[in-house]
């Protein structure tokens, strides 16, 4: 989605990351092992005449111990260490800013190329409870995004490029490493527990690197995360939802944001290609009724609350009808206005009324907490406050206001 929406009261630390997350310098011809899944690494070792089990050992060194220097991998023979040193590297994206909030939220900005348009963001949101045990990392999959959802600051930046597997998994690698070194919090809570592919970009349009990264998240030799705690959020690339279904058992979230095609065509333009009925059918196919352990018992519906646009009772009633045959949990997201945003945030009362209609109809419906309204820190905002290139959103806002006026005047 939008893949954004959380703001935090961020305290800007010094921009350069001075921790050992900095990769060692290597020639660009070397193979970066950071983004290799176990299957690919096994193939790689076979190709260089080594045993497959080395893959598991190396993956542990990289993803559990954060070792970037092959010389420190003590259970690997000296000869192999030398071979790896010559041909390979372990290189994470460069951290150019990091921000640690008073409320526990952490945010990183990574440079993944040259120039202003080559920055991506990752946000870590701790649970809003005393234990602070749950820590959800929102990971980006692309630099910018081509889908141009009208309420999204990332969409306004346009698409730059896809992230590679090492640039995607590198975000989790750096977030986890930041906790490993944090002596101010209890040791048992020093790691990311949940991941959502909900940062910049549409993850299903960068399919292979995203799937490979998620397979590392699930791999016991790497992060060993529960499949129910790894979620891919999509704006609705229907054929790729089916493809994901064949490849991985992870949780699915749909960035819905509108309960009818006319409105969704404007808010989430990919809807013109894959309209709501197709999207809901794909989500139904994704659900698995077998196996208690499946991550696919329901889908999460993300719905950003835009004042006067998609937050009326009629929209909630349309949602009830639309989702009646889809096992789902609904997450209402108060909009975080960004500079030049053409929308406002729905009032608390409006959101609660909307929630009540859905809850009364039997849906589990939560309201996402927002943080730090004082700083423009939602995903896509720190990398550049860019002008809305299309003006389309502004035009649509006017159109919606006119329509609402007509509805009101008709009683």
**47 is known as an active-site residue:** no
Q: Does 149 bind ligand SF4 (CB under 6 A)?
A: yes
Of 18 and 390, CB closest to ligand SF4: 390
Q: Nearer Cβ to ligand SF4, position 200 or 351?
A: 200
> Residue 213 to residues 165, 166, 209, 235, 312: CA-CA distances in angstroms?
6, 8, 6, 19, 39
Closest contact distance (angstroms) between CB of 330 and ligand SF4 is 17
Residues 217-246 close enough to bind ligand SF4 by CB under 6 A: 235
- The piece of 87-95, 146-154, 315-323, 349-357 that touches ligand SF4 (CB under 6 A) is 146-154
Q: Is 154 in the site for ligand SF4 (CB under 6 A)?
A: yes
- With CB under 6 A as the contact rule, the residue among 155, 170, 334, 337 that binds ligand SF4 is 155
- Give φ, ψ of 337 to 5 degrees: -60, 140
Pull the structure tokens for residue 43: 């193939």
Is 379 an active-site residue? yes
Question: By rule CB under 6 A, what string of x and - marks binding of each residue 242-271 to ligand SF4?
Answer: -------------x----------------
Closest to 250 measured CA to CA, from 200, 297, 201, 303: 297
Q: Which two tokens stand for residue 228?
A: 């129910």
Among residues 120 and 251, whose Cβ is nearest to ligand SF4?
120
By CB under 6 A, is residue 279 in contact with ligand SF4? Answer: no
- Residue 36's CB is within 10 A of a number of other CB atoms, namely 24
Which residue matches tokens 């299957």?
Answer: 39
Number of H helices, E strands in the chain: 11, 15
Residue 365 among known ligand-binding residues = no
Pick from 89, 202, 219, 388 the residue near ligand SF4 by CB under 6 A. 202
Instruction: Map the footprint of ligand SF4 across residues 8-37, applying CB under 6 A.
Output: none
Q: Among residues 42, 121, 167, 266, which one is catalytic? A: 121
- Residue 359 has what DSSP assignment? H
State how far the Cα of 138 lies from the Cα of 121, in Å rounded to an integer: 9
206 is in an annotated binding site: no
Local structure of residue 19 (DSSP, 8 states): S
Element containing residue 396 per DSSP (H, E): helix 392-409
Which strand (E) or helix (H) includes residue 159?
Answer: strand 159-162
3-state secondary structure at position 1:
coil
> CA of 56: how far to CAs of 53, 60, 208, 216, 285, in Å?
6, 6, 21, 11, 34
Evaluate whether 104 touches 119 at the Cβ level (below 8 Å): no
Is 138 annotated to bind ligand?
no
Task: Please select the residue that binds ligand SF4; options are 23, 35, 126, 201, rule is CB under 6 A.
Answer: 201
Catalytic residue chosen out of the listed positions 88, 138, 365, 379? 379
Minimum gap (Å) between residue 98 Cβ and ligand SF4? 22
Q: Which window, 70-78, 112-120, 123-131, 196-204, contacts ligand SF4 (CB under 6 A)?
A: 196-204
Q: Which of 147, 168, 225, 358 binds ligand SF4 (CB under 6 A)?
A: 147
Q: CA 25, CA 222: separation in Å to the nearest integer?
A: 23
**What angle is formed at CA 249 by the lines to CA 198 and CA 260, rounded to 5 degrees?**
50
| Complex with ligand SF4: residue 154 or 346, whichever CB lies closer | 154
CB 203 within 8 A of CB 147: no
The DSSP output letter for 206 is S
Q: Please check if 149 is assigned to a binding site.
A: yes
- Measured in Å, how far apart are the chain's first and last C-alpha atoms? 34
Name the segment binding ligand SF4 (CB under 6 A); options: 82-90, 143-151, 220-228, 394-402: 143-151
Residue 257, annotated ligand binder? Answer: yes
Contact between residue 286 and residue 313 where contact means Cβ atoms under 8 Å apart:
no
> Contact between 93 and ligand SF4 (CB under 6 A)?
no
Instruction: Give the number of residues in contact with ligand SF4, rule: CB under 6 A.
Output: 15
Looking at beta carbons only, is 1 or 125 nearer to ligand SF4? 1
Query: So which residues are the catalytic ones?
Result: 121, 379
**Residues making contact with ligand SF4 (CB under 6 A):** 1-3, 145, 147-149, 152, 154-155, 200-202, 235, 255
State the binding site for [4Fe-4S] cluster: 145, 149, 152
State the binding site for S-adenosyl-L-methionine: 201-202, 233, 255-257, 336
State the binding site: 145, 149, 152, 201-202, 233, 255-257, 336
């Amino acid at each position: 989605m939008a893949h954004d929406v959380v703001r935090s009261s961020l305290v800007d630390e010094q921009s350069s990351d001075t921790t050992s997350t900095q990769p060692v310098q290597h020639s660009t011809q070397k193979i970066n092992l950071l983004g290799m899944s176990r299957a690919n690494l096994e193939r790689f070792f076979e190709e260089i005449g080594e045993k497959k089990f080395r893959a598991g050992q190396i993956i542990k060194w990289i993803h559990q111990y954060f070792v970037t220097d092959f010389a420190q991998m003590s259970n690997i023979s000296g000869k192999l260490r030398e071979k790896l040193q010559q041909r390979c590297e372990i290189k994470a994206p460069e951290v150019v800013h990091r921000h640690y909030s008073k409320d526990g939220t952490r945010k990183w900005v990574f440079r993944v190329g040259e120039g202003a348009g080559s920055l991506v963001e990752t946000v870590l949101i701790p649970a809003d409870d005393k234990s602070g045990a749950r820590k959800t990392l929102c990971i980006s999959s692309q630099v910018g995004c081509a889908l141009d959802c009208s309420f999204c600051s990332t969409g306004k930046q346009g698409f730059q490029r896809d992230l590679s597997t090492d640039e995607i998994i590198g975000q989790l690698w750096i977030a986890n490493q930041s906790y490993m070194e944090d002596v101010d919090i209890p040791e048992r809570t020093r790691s990311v527990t949940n991941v959502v592919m909900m940062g910049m970009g549409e993850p299903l349009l960068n399919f292979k690197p995203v799937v490979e990264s998620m397979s590392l998240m699930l791999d016991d030799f790497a992060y060993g995360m529960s499949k129910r705690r790894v979620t891919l959020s999509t704006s609705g690339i229907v054929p790729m939802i089916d493809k994901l279904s064949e490849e991985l058992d992870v949780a699915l979230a749909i960035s819905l944001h509108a309960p009818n095609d006319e409105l969704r065509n404007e808010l989430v333009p990919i809807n013109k290609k894959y309209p709501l009925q197709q999207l809901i059918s794909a989500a139904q196919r994704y659900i698995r009724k077998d196996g208690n352990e499946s991550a696919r018992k329901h889908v999460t519906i993300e719905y950003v609350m835009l004042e006067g646009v998609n937050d009326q009772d009629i929209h909630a009633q349309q949602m009830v009808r639309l989702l009646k045959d889809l096992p789902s949990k609904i997450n209402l997201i108060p909009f975080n206005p960004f500079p030049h945003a053409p929308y406002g945030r729905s009032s608390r009362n409006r959101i609660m009324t909307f929630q009540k209609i859905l809850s009364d109809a039997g849906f589990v419906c939560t309201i996402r907490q927002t943080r730090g309204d004082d700083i423009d820190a939602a995903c896509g905002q720190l990398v550049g406050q860019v002008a809305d290139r299309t003006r389309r959103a502004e035009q649509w806002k006017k159109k919606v206001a006119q329509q609402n006026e007509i509805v009101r005047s008709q009683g």
